[in-house]
Amino acid sequence: MALPPAFQGLHHSTQLRKTAHLPMGTLINYSTDKGVAVLTMSDPPANAYTHEMMKELDAAILEARFDTDVHVLVVTGHGEKFFCAGANINMLKEADESFKYYFCLHANETLSRLEQTPKLVIAALNGHTVGGGLEIALACDLRIARKGAYDVGLPEVALGVLPGTGGTQRLTRTVGKAKAMEMMCEGKRLTTEQALAYGLVNKVWEAATNDAFMKLVHEYAHEFVPPGRAPLAVGRIKRAVQSGGEMALEQGLALERELQAELFSSEDARDGIAAYVEKRKPVFRGR
């Protein structure tokens, strides 16, 4: 059976194991390279998402989660101008209230799955990142923006609605209550430099083209894969921060101890500790 175009580039062992279960994706391009999976939203011109795109994104997240050869996920948009402009307004205009509710529910579940996957997720913001596009980026662990004249924000108030795919919650947890209220109530659109000052993005990188930007992102993502980095440790740090940060301190500390105990039993931790004593570089394997 031929692999669907949206999933070409998967590791060979993954193809053999899961080809029959992959959807016929056209809106999310999925590829892997040396431990990094790239999920590209592709619906020109604005990469606005429909329910169909969100279902494909959900499937791609699960594919990357189950692939033991994947240690880092990169989420980005197709083209030079848009990461994602949010939900497709024409779709929402035509939909009834019941569909809109379940559309938002599924989008919330998809982004929660992305957030809770114990692998590092990097959002590569290559253009306008507004509305639901920023909500997708907020569900990622790190956000890297390409320097340029584009907007980052949650302007849903101008439509008479609120950011309904986790934006009110994740933005508040990222930049604090005061800045979040200001951004959402004013429908404020930030430049990349303002987003960096707000703490909304981690890095802003200059690149002549999107291909050059993605090359930089790929190089950065590969810093988190074996043999140079222990991906199990990175994944458990993510779990401790994402889940523990929502708990009382004592519960968070208990989670931290359990995750640490899990890591102590790993081959990576044994080699990492031994390498420190032996004054050599560890060779991590993700086991």
Task: Show me where the domains of the chain are located.
Answer: 5-224, 231-278
pLDDT at 51: 94
Biggest alpha carbon–alpha carbon distance for the chain: 65
Sheet holding 82-84, edge to edge: 82-84, 128-130, 152-153, 189-190
Would you give per-residue pLDDT tens digits along the chain (287 residues)? 333 333 333 333 333 233 333 444 699 999 999 999 999 999 999 999 999 999 999 999 999 999 999 999 999 999 999 999 999 888 888 889 999 999 999 999 999 999 999 999 999 999 999 999 999 999 999 999 999 999 999 999 999 999 999 999 999 999 999 999 999 999 999 999 999 999 999 999 999 999 999 999 999 999 999 998 999 999 999 999 999 988 999 999 999 999 999 999 999 999 999 989 999 999 999 89
Catalytic residues: 135, 156
- For residues 107 and 42, give the distance between their C-alpha atoms in angstroms, rounded to a whole number: 17
What predicted TM-score, i.e. pTM, was given to this entire model? 0.88
> Could you give the C-alpha distances from 22 to 7, 27, 278, in angstroms and in order?
8, 14, 46
pLDDT at 7: 35
Answer whether CATH 3.40.605.10 is correct for domain 5-224.
no
Is there a contact between 102 and 257 (Cβ–Cβ < 8 Å)? no
Burial class of residue 245 (count of CB atoms within 10 Å of its CB; 0-12, 13-18, 19+): exposed
Answer whether CATH 3.40.50.1980 is correct for domain 231-278.
no
Is there a contact between 190 and 152 (Cβ–Cβ < 8 Å)? yes
Identify which of 174, 132, 170, 127 has the alpha carbon closest to the alpha carbon of residue 151.
127
